[in-house]
Amino acid sequence: MSEQPLIFDLGKRPPTTRAIALQIRERGEAALDDAQRRADAARYQEITCKSALNAVEGMPFNWTLNPYRGCTHACHYCFARRYQTQFELGPDDHFSSVIFVKTNLVEVLRKELDKPSWHREQVAVGTATDPYQPIEGHYKLTRGSLETLLAARTPIGLVTKGPMVVRDAALLADLGRQAGCTVYMSVPTVDEDAWRALEPGTAPPLQRLRAVRQLRDAGVNAGVLMAPVVPGFTTQPARLEATIKAIADHGAAFMGANLLYLKGGTKDHFMGFLQHEFPHLVESYDRLYAGAYAKNDYVKAVRGVIDMLQQRYEVRGRRSRSEESVPGESNEPAYEEKAAPEQAAFTFEPKP
């Protein structure tokens, strides 16, 4: 008698994050044989996660949510590049060409939010990857996560460079009304030369700003992060002014700005990028970034120009946490007044 097929063919379950990390350590890139190639030439490795929400400390939020790992936006300054080294993958091409997809994220998130112990704390979406990078159009994990967060009335802050966020404008507006939602669109500069050099896989800056306008028109509390401000690329007063004027012209609810932060694998990649593409800047960067942060006098000078331009174009900054009480946050000093690490972007805005 011939063997009968299973009535329910469950197929092969994607490996866990830990399992794929161990396989890569043992076999190198050969462990990614099942990764799918798509039109953008990146490889997409489906994985399963045991938890969706990640507890963090020392940030202005306690929980993060990242549907993907790695990002085809390929920004040369991205702080998340160094996280790729945890998979025995480098912070260079692997970061933008090998993307891990947490296929069961929404299911796991729903179970976590249904627990009696969940107190509807603020969740930061997109701290280690862009939740609206192009592959989201296929998997829709960000969309599913937002629907789940809305059902659980959990407030969020979301940062992205992806104009695809407008697809979910109505959902984000509902989330804002029922729990609290702030969208941060990252637009470091509107200068096209700097954009092409620093962010090769992203949508044009003005397209991102038009998305901010659409979100605002839909009732979403949406603003702009001019972050990072990159010395030698976007710090010229004329470029700063053009960007801040464009932010004001597109009706952003607020804007914030952070100077470039370089650490670990991110610093290794960025300095390699400079050496290859802009060697005349290497010596200046070596002096300016002896550590992870630019020298304090330089930071103050750049911030002085930004503050002046914000006043000129009447673009309000993000309110500090010492000035107001935001759900899920303590009344400690404003986060940016500290030696702010790269995730300072998430100083959450209150509901409008």
pLDDT at position 283, please? 96
d(CA 164, CA 176): 18
Q: Are 38 and 44 in contact (CB under 8 A)?
A: yes
Q: What is the mean pLDDT of each run of 10 residues along the chain (352 residues)?
A: 41 57 53 49 84 90 92 85 51 65 96 96 92 95 98 97 98 98 97 95 96 98 96 96 98 95 88 95 95 94 96 80 31 29 37 36
The CA-based angle 160-162-168, given to 5 degrees, is 90
**Is residue 102 a contact partner of residue 128, using CB atoms and an 8 Å limit?**
no
Q: What is the pLDDT of residue 71?
A: 87
Q: What is the pLDDT of residue 222?
A: 98
Task: Give just the sign of the alpha carbon dihedral 260, 262, 265, 270.
Answer: positive
DSSP state of 129: S
What is residue 61's three-state secondary structure? coil
Pair 135, 80: CB distance under 8 Å? no
pLDDT for position 45: 86
The predicted pLDDT at position 40 comes to 55
DSSP-derived 3-state class of residue 325: coil
Report the candidate in 224, 130, 219 with the shortest Cα–Cα distance to residue 169.
219
Q: Give me the pLDDT at residue 93, please.
A: 56
Task: Give this prediction's pTM.
Answer: 0.80
**Closest Cα to residue 227, out of 77, 58, 95, 335?**
77
Q: Which two tokens stand for residue 244?
A: 């801040």
What type of residue is 47? I
